[in-house]
Amino acid sequence: MIPFVAPWTAFRHKYNFWHWPWKEMSDLRRKLVNENFELGLSGRPDPRDHVLLKISGAKKRLGFPQRGSGIFLTDSLASPALMEHRYEYWRVAGKALGLELPARQQITFPVRNARKLVLVHSGAGQSVRVWPLENYHKLIQRLRGNNHFVQVVCDVEQRDWWLQRNEPHVATPKTMTGLIALLDQTGVFIGNDSGPGHLAAINNVPTFTIFGPQLPECFAPIHPQAEWIEGHACPYKPCKDYCHFSTPRCLWRITEESAWPRVRTFVQSHLGGNA
C-alpha cells in the first residue's frame, strides 16, 4: 500500500498547480514504475485516475473511460446505468477480472448478537453533508427520553460543541480501527451521508442515513436493513460536494421533527423500546 492524497481531490482550489506536491508525485511515479505492475484498475470514471494508471507503467489498465480518457487504458469497461448504485462499478470491474460479486440486493450478513447501543455520528468529510448539530442534539434527547443508550461520535472540529452541550463521553476516534471498535458495540448507526455509515454497514450494523445533496439510490450504505431520509428537492441535485447556496438547503430543510418519526421506527424495529 502506498498512501497518496491526490491534489485533484481537494475540496477547493484543486487545480492550483503551483501548490501541487510535484516532488512527491514524481517519487510516487518512480515507486509505481519500479513495482512492474501487471494490472492497474480504477473503479471510478475519472480521467485523472486513468492518467495515474498510465504513468504507473501497469501493462494492463482497466477503467471506465470518460472525456476521452480511454486512450490511457488498455481495457475500457462499460459504465453501469446513470442511476445505478456505485457498487455496480465494482461488480463490472470484478467481472472483468473473473470475480463474480453478488447483486447488491443479494448481499447477506450473519445474524449479529443483540446490542442495545445507538451510535450517532454527526461528522462528514464535507460540510455540505453535515446535518445541523442542533438537530442531532434534539434527536439524541428524544432517543434517551425513550430509554435508549446513545453514544455520540463526531469529527475533531465538532468535539467542543458537544462538550458544551454536556456530552462528556463524546468519542472522536482518529483511526479506522478506533471507529470499528465502537461499531463492534453498536446496535444501530445514525449519521450523515459519509464514510462512517458505509463502514458501519460493512461491519453489519443497520444504518439510518440523513441524505442531502446526493441520491440514496446511488450512495446508500450496502446493508439489507439500511434506511434513510432523502434531502429536499433542489434543481441542482445531485451536486456532490459543491452547493449553489450559502447553506445546503436540501439537507438543512430536513427538520428534527420530520426526521424523528422515521428514526424512532428504525431504532424500535432493531432494538425495541418505547413507542
Contact 195, 121 (CB under 8 A): no
- Cell 443479494, residue located: 106
Q: State the architecture of 27-103 in CATH terms.
A: 3-Layer(aba) Sandwich (3.40)
User: What is the C-alpha separation between 119 and 18, in angstroms, rounded?
Assistant: 42
Domain ranges of the chain: 27-103, 117-271
The secondary structure of residue 171, as a DSSP letter, is: B
27-103 and 117-271, same CATH topology: yes
User: What is the C-alpha separation between 68 and 213, in angstroms, rounded?
Assistant: 28
In Å, how far are 38, 60, 90, 99, 156 from 87, measured between CA atoms? 24, 22, 5, 14, 29
- Residues 225-258: tens digit of each pLDDT: 999 999 999 999 888 777 889 899 999 999 999 9
What is the predicted pLDDT for the residue at 169?
A: 94
CATH topology for 117-271? Rossmann fold (3.40.50)
What is the amino acid identity at position 239?
A: C
Q: What is the grid cell recorded at 18?
A: 503551483
Q: What is the pTM of this model?
A: 0.88
Burial grade of 90 (CB within 10 A; 0-12, 13-18, 19 or more):
middle
Residue 275 has pLDDT above 80, yes or no: no
User: What is the C-alpha separation between 164 and 31, in angstroms, rounded?
Assistant: 47
